[in-house]
Structure 1
Amino acid sequence: MNDVVTLSNVETPRTGPAGETIDPQRHRALGTASRASILEFVRAAGVGMTIAEVGERTGLHLSTARAHLDRLVDAGLLVKARASGGQPGRPAWRYRVAVAEAPAPAPYRALAAALLDHLSRRGHGDVRAEATRAGQAWGRHLAAATPPGGEPVDTLLDVLRGLGFNPRRHRTADGATEIHLHTCPFLELVNRNPDAICALHVGVVRGTLEHAGASPAGAVLEPFGAPDACVVRLALPNITEEPA
Structure 2
Amino acid sequence: MEPSGKATSGETVDTPQHRTLGPASRVSILRLLRDTGAGMTAADVAARTGQHLSTTRAHLERLAGAGLLVKARANGGQPGRPAWRYRATATDPAPAAYRVLVAALLEHLPSDADGRTAGRVGRDWGLRLAASVPPQDDPVEAVTAVLGGLGLSPHRQPSGPGAASVEVHLRTCPFLELVGQRPDAVCGLHAGLVRGVLESRGVRDAEAVLEPFGAPHACVVRLPPPRHRAGRR
Paired position in structure 2 for 1:168: 155
Paired position in structure 1 for 2:134: 147
Quick one: distance in 2 between partners of 1:23 and 1:109?
A: 31
The answer (yes or no) to whether the contact 1:38–1:54 under 8 Å persists in 2 is yes
Paired position in structure 2 for 1:117: 107
1:138 partner amino acid? W
Deviates more, 1:57-66 or 1:173-182: 57-66
Paired position in structure 1 for 2:169: 180
Question: How does 1:190-209 map onto structure 2 within 5 Å?
Answer: 190-209=179-198
Deviation at 1:48, TM superposition (A): 2.7
Structure 1 counterpart SS, 2:225: coil
Deviation at 1:97, TM superposition (A): 1.6
Deviates more, 1:68-77 or 1:228-237: 68-77
2:110 partner amino acid? S
Quick one: distance in 1 between partners of 2:60 and 2:20?
A: 10
Paired position in structure 1 for 2:94: 102
Structure 2 counterpart SS, 1:35: helix
Paired position in structure 2 for 1:230: 219
Q: Across the two proteins, how many residue pairs are aligned to each other?
A: 216
Rg larger in structure:
1
5+ residue gaps, structure 2: 1-5, 228-233
Q: Does 1:130 align with 2:117?
A: yes
Structure 2 counterpart SS, 1:119: coil
Paired position in structure 2 for 1:79: 70
Question: Where has structure 1 moved over 6 Å in runs of 4 or more?
Answer: none
Correspondence for 1:66 among 53, 57, 62: 57
Distance 1:233 1:28, change over 3 A: same
Paired position in structure 2 for 1:5: none
Q: Does 1:220 align with 2:209?
A: yes
Deviates more, 1:146-155 or 1:174-183: 146-155
Identity of aligned residues (%): 58
Deviates more, 1:189-198 or 1:58-67: 58-67
Structure 2 counterpart SS, 1:214: coil
Deviation at 1:225, TM superposition (A): 1.8
Q: TM-score scaled to structure 2, two decimals?
A: 0.80
Deviation at 1:70, TM superposition (A): 1.8
CA root-mean-square deviation: 2.7
Quick one: distance in 2 between partners of 1:158 and 1:150?
A: 13
5+ residue gaps, structure 1: 1-13, 17-21, 239-244
Distance 1:152 1:58, change over 3 A: closer
Distance 1:29 1:144, change over 3 A: same
The answer (yes or no) to whether the contact 2:152–2:171 under 8 Å persists in 1 is yes
Question: Relative CO higher for 1 or 2, CA cutoff 8 Å, sep ≥ 6?
Answer: 2
The answer (yes or no) to whether the contact 2:121–2:189 under 8 Å persists in 1 is yes
2:146 partner amino acid? V
- Deviations along 1:188-230, one digit per CA (max 9) or x if unpaired, are 1101111111110000101011113333512211112212211
Quick one: distance in 1 between partners of 2:176 and 2:58?
A: 20
Q: Does 1:54 align with 2:49?
A: no
